[in-house]
Structure 1
Amino acid sequence: PSNPGVGQLVQPQSPPQAYGDPAAQQPHSSITPYLPVSTGIPPGLEYLMQGGVTAITVSPLPLPAFIGFETANKYELRDGLGRRLFEAEEQSDCCTRNCCGSLRRLRLNVAEPGGRPVLRLLRPIKCTTCWCPCCLQELEVQCPPGTTIGHVVQTWHPFTPKFSVQNAEKQTVLRVLGPCCVFRCGGDINFEVKTSNESRGVGRISKQWGGLLKEVFTDTDVFGIQFPVDLDVKMKAVLLGACFLIDYMFFEKSGTTSQRSTVLSS
């Protein structure tokens, strides 16, 4: 059992087979290079230069996930060797967490293990239902804190989760498309990352299946993020923000019921 909301970001291990083969080193066969790496890299984001795959793990605590009291989320970011790169901690008040559940307004502060701030993610309180298309989810990504580098904005669709990944000027650079059903027993749930015109895939955000007991009785979630190595490092950071937003929208457990948002209802 775990306290709902404490977690870590880690990178999955290297492929176990044919790793010496250059073709086998690609994160996913359908992923193609998209954007050149920016020359002006904000402090701290150099850790994202190498990776194409990152994952989120929400770790169990001694308290059960269904204690009926929502606590602030905490995360860790780790590389493929298990080394801790960043720590993220939610800032929100107790009333908002327990009254608004997964829709709550919050701030996520991402810092290096030594405490130096790297990212700040700001999420206002919004709806997720398709019946209210004028008040959909969004997330602002700042790096360093106070300087906006991008946004994640939910795009209205009656059946499937869709998000626009935007730069600082709110120009759509990538799109994230989820499945019609975000609840699946025994398999991963994939959110495809595509070009702005949705013509080809350039990455993937996957909610990985953790086993029946872990899925039901804990708030432990594992996410894999795949993106091309030559993607602008700022957009990699915005995709990390998209993964956080997806976690809160569809996989956040609140109180004694799993108050997870869906496309059709909030």
Structure 2
Amino acid sequence: MASQQPIQNQPNQGVEWMSAPQAVTGAPPGLEYLGALDQIIVKQRVELLEMLSGYETQNKYDVKNSMGQQCYFAQEESDCCSRQVCGPNRPYVIHITDNNGQEVMSVRHEFVCCTGCCWCATNSSCGYEVAIEAPVGNIIGYAKQHTSAWKPHIRVLDANRQEMFVLRGPCCWGCQNVYCTDDIEFSVTDQAEDKYLGRMFKRWAGCGRETFTDADTFGVTFPLDMPVPAKALLFGAVFLVDFMYFERAKHSY
């Protein structure tokens, strides 16, 4: 099980940070940046050791706005052995910090022995789920894999496990991840799937990077006037999508 201790922020040197926002009513402390955004980009850093040897290291991410300005830094905390043996099933915590190194949010995943089968994922003992905390220790919601025939299907829930959003990915995502030279998109809709709200996507990074590393770039769009806690839930769901579908893929082919 991943420990409860936060990991020290390790931002890029010389990075341009987004200007500090004003206070936003209803925003968890430190997440005020999200109030001014309708899109965030989550870019995983390339780890040379992992690229050359296949040794799985702790993931690190730079979180930016559409102008390329950094708003957060994220880093995985997990056990070395579980990273090598358990793959995306491993327990982990994603610590999200601001430009002062203050942890403002976390995404927590417990170990699962299930392989993430899409046909039985809704069962409480199967499928992947993360708890999203903001501030740390205060759960604001969950992102959970749900049953589907073939397409990726994730439901985003509030703290009371009431459904808020539905994410659905493309059919045969595994083949697309390896062979398709295009972005892979997940639609974001309301809980009834009647209203399109945005999209979550993984950018195509080029043949070399797609083949030899799982350092991917993700993004999520949402309405500018969406409440900050709701944006934070979709932000947290990005990491579940990464671990479920794209950490696994590089080790499966």
1:75 aligns with 2:61: yes
Q: Secondary structure at the match of 1:156?
A: coil
Q: Secondary structure at the match of 2:36?
A: coil
Identical residues among aligned pairs (%): 36
User: What 5-or-longer segments of structure 1 have no aligned partner?
Assistant: 1-5, 11-37, 262-266
Within 2, Cα distance between the matches of 1:129 and 1:58? Answer: 26
1:43 aligns with 2:37: no
- Could you say which residue in structure 1 is the equivalent of 2:170? 179
Within 1, Cα distance between the matches of 2:80 and 2:215? Answer: 21
- Could you say which residue in structure 2 is the equivalent of 1:129? 117
Within 1, Cα distance between the matches of 2:201 and 2:161? Answer: 25
1:107 aligns with 2:93: yes
- Could you say which residue in structure 2 is the equivalent of 1:90? 76
Among 170, 188, 192, the alignment partner of 2:187 is: 192
Instruction: Report the TM-score, using the length of structure 2 for normalisation.
Output: 0.82
Q: Give, as a single letter, the amino acid of the residue that structure 1 aligns with 2:159.
A: A
- Could you say which residue in structure 1 is the equivalent of 2:6? none
Instruction: Report the TM-score, using the length of structure 1 for normalisation.
Output: 0.78
1:60 aligns with 2:55: no
- Could you say which residue in structure 2 is the equivalent of 1:238? 233
Q: Structure 1 residue 217: deviation in Å?
A: 1.9
Q: Structure 1 residue 222: deviation in Å?
A: 1.3
Within 2, Cα distance between the matches of 1:103 and 1:7? Answer: 27
Q: Structure 1 residue 80: deviation in Å?
A: 2.9
Among 130, 143, 166, the alignment partner of 2:134 is: 143
Among 122, 146, 150, the alignment partner of 1:155 is: 146
Q: Does the 8 Å contact 1:102/1:259 carry over to 2?
A: no
Within 2, Cα distance between the matches of 1:167 and 1:68? Answer: 37
Q: Residue by residue, what CA displacement relative to the aligned partner does 1:25-50 show, whole Å, maximum 9, x if unpaired?
A: xxxxxxxxxxxxx8321111110011
Aligned length: 225
Q: Does the 8 Å contact 2:188/2:198 carry over to 1?
A: yes
Q: Give, as a single letter, the amino acid of the residue that structure 2 aligns with 1:41.
A: A
Q: Secondary structure at the match of 1:49?
A: helix
Q: Which consecutive segments of 4 or more residues in structure 1 shift more than 4 A?
A: none
Q: Residue by residue, what CA displacement relative to the aligned partner does 1:43-70 show, whole Å, maximum 9, x if unpaired?
A: 1111001111112222323335251321
Range 177-186 or range 126-135, more displaced: 126-135
Q: Does the 8 Å contact 1:7/1:56 carry over to 2?
A: no
- Could you say which residue in structure 2 is the equivalent of 1:21? none
Over aligned residue pairs, what C-alpha RMSD do you find? Answer: 2.3
